[in-house]
A and B are shown apart, each in its own frame.
Chain A
Amino acid sequence: MQDPRATTSATAAPPWQQFICHVCGLIYDEKEGDADSGLAAGTRFADIPEDWACPICGVGKADFEPWSPAQAEAARAAAVRQRPATPGRLAGGSAGVPGVRGTGGQTARAGARQTAGVVVIGAGRAGWQVVQALREHCPTQPVTLVSACAGDVYDKPLISVALARGLQPAAMVRESAANAAARLGVRLLVHTHAVGVDVARQRVRTTRGTLRYSHLVLAQGAEPAVPAVLPPQWVWRINDLAAYTRLRAALRTQGSAQTAAAGSGSGLASGPGPETRSSPGSSSPQIAIIGAGLVGCELANDLALAGHAVTLIDTQQRPLAAQLPPLASQRLLQAWQGLPLHFMGGVQIASLQPVALGPAADAALGAPSTTSGNVAAGGSTAAAASGLRLTLTDGTERVFDHVIAATGLRASSRLARSAGLVFDDAAGGIVVQGCTGATSQPQVYALGDCVVVDGLASRYIEPIVQQARGIALAIAQNTAPSHAQDSAQVSTQGSTQDSTQGTGKHLAQTPPAARAPTLRIKTSSLPFTLSGTLAGSGQWRTLEDQPQALQMQRCGPQGDVLATLRAQRQTPRAGAY
């Protein structure tokens, strides 16, 4: 079909264009002109005098760009898509019925006038666990879950074995946040940061508004604690799926860039010193992992199994010195032989510097800066391709493509400070009672990696289930003491095994036995299972020491078994990534 505007020379004219002002949004329509400035209807933008100024804000033509109504529609559609889908409130009386949804499609808007009910800060394992427990014990209580990240449900321990199991980061999401929220009937605010707590008025200030809470549960998790000598813009900290996804993407990019560079024979810039870099032709990035604790060793093992050259660095002489007896560390090092995994123990870091700063290192305004931005400025990723020079206190220098810090965790004290909560600075967490998760402020609870009980943090999955239940029961009792809900059996999709589910009748009067959780160290080449209290007096003795298996026991003076250790050597599966 012929375009009626085409070809007939007498009537041919291009359609009227519209232009939008960057600064104030005014639309200049060629068809309308701008009478106040003396521009007749039909004045083409190109024909507007150069000294014309936007009638609203005064900027010049250079600050206008072409615009169409279709663009505005696309922008609106994108904004609607970005809003997290949330259900409405649970209808009253629908005790524990799974999958009850409120009026669908409501967008999440915080407002001080609405009571958000129980507000949970953090949608990690602890956050979702306590939400689940609340639904079991207080089915009709409004619950609002606030998450700084996307809030999707995943198992963080899988990060440590993802490469060996051939798992893509996207595949690690068990359930989307929106689905879980709908299933549990809770209001969800994602990409929302809690900024401060007003305990007197029972309000939480967030980047999407202020929430009025009946009870507040802090499940904010812990953050990597990194020594000052390691600048954050050069160092990976892997404590969540988002960071892990970015690391994996960077490894893929780096790998292909290096393959290209190696293939072209250009080689890579390298500093002086022994063993600085893999030779041209190698496509594997050099990775340093600083900290040979639980996370460091697991990540090192997993990356090495995938073929990455990993140097694992610690101030201690052996890996997992805090958890394992010396023999066990030795067996682990033996299991790592044959992998491109090199352990450097008993060393300290003096500095970490990029090898070459790119010209865009001092990036222009309008792009995130290195000092306060989210991502290092453009120049720095170029610099990372040239390498990061790690200098030890003994003068040794190594150049790496990536540096990962696995140097411990501690909770941010920001919310605790604003709420006036007692915070244990040494252990790095909010002080709570073990059985109820109660903090030093009424109506405020906490659980998971952000808490400290009796001076100790216990940053594992296992305690979370108990803590969540304790909090839910405490809140249930607090909300309706004479009608405390018996826990209805709520079917929970993909939940972990918890033998105590469904027995909530005893309202957490007895604290659970104070024992350390079973610890699984998922170093795939030689995984460990430890039970009991690992530290303290009493010698470790070896029960079995085979190439494939190790069994040890720690006994007290009366011969009582205080701790057991089992390790079973696995044949590493090569994993694609």
Chain B
Amino acid sequence: MALAELRDPPPAIRFTATVDAATVETAAVDAAGDTAASVVDAVRHIAQGALAPQADAIDRGRYPRELMQALGAAGAFKAHLGPGAAAGDYALAIRVMSEVSRVCGATGFMVWCQQVCGLYLQQSGNPALTQRVLATHASGARLGGTGMSNPMKAYAGIEPLLLKATPVPGGYRVSGTLPWVSNLGPDHYAGVLAGVEGPRGDITREVMFLLRCDAPGVELRNCPSFSAMEGTNTWAVKCCDAFVGEESLIGDPARPTIARIRAGFILLQTGFGLGVTQGAIDSMWRVEHALGHVNCFLDDRPDELQAELDDLHSHINTLARTPFDSSTDYFISVLDARAHASELALRAAQSALLHAGARGYLMSSDVQRRVRESHFVAIVSPAIKHLRKEIARLSAPVMPA
């Protein structure tokens, strides 16, 4: 099932999946001529064409570089990036993620990694990033991820910050290890955050920056195997006095940047849960003809799940109109939509397995793969428990003491 290896992607990308002999041609997408529909069509064409037969291999460890770059060329990574620091079309970005996740959760998740890293770069206000990195990133020519899971949990009081930074002339020296960061590689990078230590060793502020995997002092280490999605190029990132220069700073101090991006970060993730849910529903309909007479005795039937999914997606599209709304009420809605997408993905994936029965339990079946993908939807930061804790915290009034 080898696909033609891709180096620097030329404007026209052509590759062949030998298994089903499908040929995909994607022309470079001219941003001005894009419509949302054409982007969705192009992405769906890739997802259901070249990606689908690869999903199993990707689940087991194959990193789909050329597919990622094809998706980038189709506009998957830049729909949400408006001109300057403005919001683009978040609903389209979520839709794109959903179309990919529907077919392959791992690739869908990596689409999100790429999208959100693009958001960091866009919002950094750092010309070294916005003018020199953002364009190649948004097109998928360069790939990167996000290591913000730990800071998010630290912010909610769940675990301590793992990266520490010491100010030095021209930037910082950073040490510490992030256990799991996806969509990485030797020439990749990731948006991360470190606590800046004061003279007494306490954290006085935080700094967010782009960590390049090939920088001196940065080491990618193997993680143990995961239940699913092994092809996401997930590594532990170990920093030993790695130098981070001013050209890499995304937010210093980090808090204002985080306040601005946090809703968009989580909103974009919903595409993952929406897509996995849709994939599960698709698989239920596929067996309806043969097994409908007995599947009718199950809960969570595909028509009910589709209705709930459609309502949730519609609600998310409304939220997607104002991704930089800084109100607490809006953020609670975003957090809850994310939780709802996780819950729905869990229910749908499990129900799909019950609908499919033995054929869905085979190692080669997308149905059991999707069950494991749905687990990831529910536990990847912010996990359901983390979301609920945050909602509870934000729902309580701020008081002087």
Q: Is A371 an interface residue (CB 8 A)?
A: yes
User: Within 8 Å CB of A57, what residues of B?
Assistant: 177, 179-180, 223, 236
CB distance from A548 to the nearest CB of B (A): 38
| CB pair A366 B401 closer than 8 Å | no
Which residues of the other chain, A, contact B401 by a CB distance below 8 angstroms?
Answer: 246, 249-250, 253, 375-376, 381, 384
Which of the listed residues B151, B224, B331 has the most CB atoms from chain A within 10 Å of its own CB?
A: B224
B38 at the interface (CB under 8 A from A): no
| Whole-angstrom CA separation of A362 from B372 in the bound complex | 41
In the complex, chain A residues whose CB is within 8 Å of the CB of B389: 207
Contact call A376/B236, Cβ cutoff below 8 A = no
For B, the interface residue count at a CB cutoff of 8 angstroms equals 52
Which residues of A389-436 have CB atoms within 8 Å of chain B's CB atoms? 402, 414
Our pick among A24, A113, A223, A375 for the contact of B399 (Cβ within 8 Å) is: A375
- Of B150, B205, B336, B393, which one neighbours A195 at CB under 8 angstroms? B336
Q: Which among B5-13, B118-126, B155-163 touches the partner chain?
A: B155-163
Inter-chain contacts of A234 with B (CB < 8 A): 400
Contacts of A58 in B (CB 8 A): 177, 179, 221, 223, 236, 238
The answer, among A23, A364, A384, for a CB contact under 8 Å with B400, is A384
- Chain B neighbourhood of A56, CB < 8 A: 179, 224
User: How many Å lie between the Cα of A381 and that of B401 in the bound state?
Assistant: 7
Contact of B388 among A53, A208, A367, A381 (CB under 8 A): A208
Option from A24, A210, A237 in Cβ contact (under 8 Å) with B179? A24
B252: chain A residues at CB < 8 Å are none
B-side contacts of A380, CB under 8 Å: 400
Secondary structure at the A interface, as helix, strand, loop or mixed, is loop
Q: B296 at the A/B interface (Cβ < 8 Å)?
A: no
A191 within 8 A of B: yes
Residues of A near B255 (CB, < 8 A) are: 362, 369
State the Cβ distance, B167 to closest chain A Cβ, in Å: 15
Contact for B398 among A22, A198, A364, A374, CB less than 8 A? A374
Q: Is B23 an interface residue (CB 8 A)?
A: no
Q: Which of A233, A235, A373 has the most CB of B within 10 A?
A: A373
B179 contacts A23, C-beta separation under 8 Å: yes
Interchain CA distance A368-B157 in the complex, whole Å: 8
Which residues 161-216 of B sit at the A interface, judged by CB distance below 8 A? 161-162, 176-177, 179-180, 195, 202-206
Q: How distant is the Cα of A366 from the Cα of B238 in the complex, in angstroms?
A: 21
Closest to B164 in A: A62
Q: Within 8 Å of chain B (Cβ to Cβ): is A347? A: no
Which residues of the partner chain A approach B177 to less than 8 Å between Cβ atoms? 53, 57-60
Chain B residues 113-154 with CB under 8 Å of chain A are 150-151, 154
User: B332 contacts A376, CB within 8 Å?
Assistant: no
A372, B308: Cβ atoms under 8 Å? no
Give per-residue flags for A51-87: 1 if the beta carbon is below 8 A from chain B beta carbons, else 0: 0011111111001000000000000000000000000
B399→A365 contact, CB < 8 A: no
Q: Is the CB of B328 within 8 A of A365?
A: no
Return 16 A-B CB contacts under 8 Å, by A number.
A22-B159, A53-B177, A57-B223, A57-B236, A58-B179, A58-B238, A63-B162, A196-B336, A205-B339, A235-B400, A237-B399, A243-B397, A365-B151, A366-B155, A368-B157, A381-B401
With A201-B308, A253-B401, A374-B399 given, can you name 15 additional A-B contacts, CB distance below 8 Å?
A53-B236, A57-B180, A60-B176, A63-B162, A207-B395, A223-B397, A233-B399, A234-B400, A365-B151, A365-B161, A368-B157, A372-B393, A374-B397, A384-B400, A414-B329
A positions within 8 Å CB-CB of B: 22-24, 53-60, 63, 113, 148, 191, 193, 195-196, 198, 200-201, 205, 207-208, 210, 223, 232-237, 243, 246, 249-250, 253, 362, 364-376, 380-381, 384, 402, 414
**Footprint of A on B, CB under 8 Å?**
150-151, 154-155, 157, 159-162, 176-177, 179-180, 195, 202-206, 221, 223-224, 236, 238, 253, 255, 259, 299, 308, 311, 328-329, 331-333, 336, 339-340, 343, 388-389, 391-401
Q: Report, nearest first, the 10 A-B pairs whose CB atoms are least far apart.
A: A58-B236, A57-B179, A364-B203, A232-B398, A207-B388, A193-B395, A250-B401, A207-B392, A195-B336, A59-B177
